[in-house]
Amino acid sequence: MTFDVEIVRWHAVASWTWNAGDDVCGICRMPFDGCPPDGKYPGDDSPVVWGVCGHAFHLQCIQKWLQSQAQTDQRCPFCRRAWEFKAAAPSS
């Protein structure tokens, strides 16, 4: 006797995340998966970046912080190591 269940189409629902560990950006204290104070849209428009030290911030936030510091003295707000953008995203 036949009994078959064929999936013609599966429409699924997911949510995305930056997967940035800490829930909030250390500078604006807004969630990574939300927007920084200046951003209108989350996600592509409010990217999250990592320093080589492994700390993550909203791109807008870390840029503002770095701009407010002397060119020669750009440090991670968390660990105070010299700030350097991490080239590729961590694939944790």
Partner 1 sequence: MVELRSWATFLDTPNKAVSTTDSSALRDPVTAVLASAVLGRKYERELVDELLPKFGRALAGCDGNAAVTGLLQPALQVLSNAVHAQLQNLADFTYQAATSLAQANKALPASLLNAPAKHLRSTAALLQRSAEYNLTGLLHDLYTEQMERFRNCFDDDPGTIEDLTQMEGSETLEKAAMDISPSRSAASIKSQAWVAELARASANLRKLGLKAMSEQVAASVVNGNIEQHLQAAAHGVFSRPVLHQALAYAKQVPLQFLQVVLPPQASDDQSLQQWQSKLEYCVYEMLGSMRIREMFDIVVDYPDTRPALEDLKTCLIHTNLHSYFISSFRSETEARLLHPGAATKDIIEQYVATIRSLREVDPPGVLLAAVGRPIKTYLQGRRDTIRCIVTALTDDTKDSETTLGNESLFDELGRGAIEEAGENQEDADTDEALLSVAERWEPDPVDADSSMETSPQDVISMLVGIYGSKELFINEYRVMLADKLLAKMDYDCDREIRTLELLKIRFGDSNMHNCEIMLKDLADSKRLNASIKQLPAGPDTYRSRSAAPDSSVDNMTATILSELFWPALPQESICMPKEVDDMLKAYAAKFHTIKAPRKLQWRPHLGSVDLKVTVGVRTLELSVSPVCAAILHQFKARAEWSSEELSASLQMPSTTLRRKIIFWINQGLLLERKDAAQATVYIRAEHLDEHTKHRLKDDQDAALSNGPDSVSPQQQLHQEMAMYESYIMGMLTNFDDGLPLERIHNMLKMFVVEPAYDKTAEQLAAFLGKLASEEKLQLVGSVFKRKA
Partner 2 sequence: MAQFPGRSPTSVAMRRIQAELNEWLLHPPEGCRLESFEPLLNWVILVQGPENSPAPGLPRLYDGELFRLAINFGDHYPLEPPEVLFVPPSPVHPHIYSNGHICLDILYDGRNGGWSPALTVNKIALSLRSMLASNTNKARPAGDMDYCQRTRGRSPKQTNWEFDDDKV
Where on the chain is the footprint of partner 1 (CB under 8 A)?
A: 1-20, 31, 33-34, 40-44, 48, 89-91
- CA trace torsion 17, 19, 20, 22 (10° rounding): 90
CA of 69: how far to CAs of 19, 26, 50, 62, 83, in Å?
28, 17, 18, 11, 11
CB of 65 to partner 2, least distance (A): 6
Q: Per CB under 8 A, does 42 bind partner 2?
A: yes
6 binds, among partner 2, partner 1, none (CB under 5 to 8 A by kind): partner 1
Asked if residue 83 lies in contact with residue 61, where contact means CB atoms within 8 angstroms, the answer is no
Look up residue 45 and give its two tokens: 């428009």
Q: Per CB under 8 A, does 34 bind partner 2?
A: yes
Q: List contacts with partner 2 (CB under 8 A).
A: 24, 26-30, 34-35, 37-40, 42, 61, 64-65, 68, 75, 77-78, 80
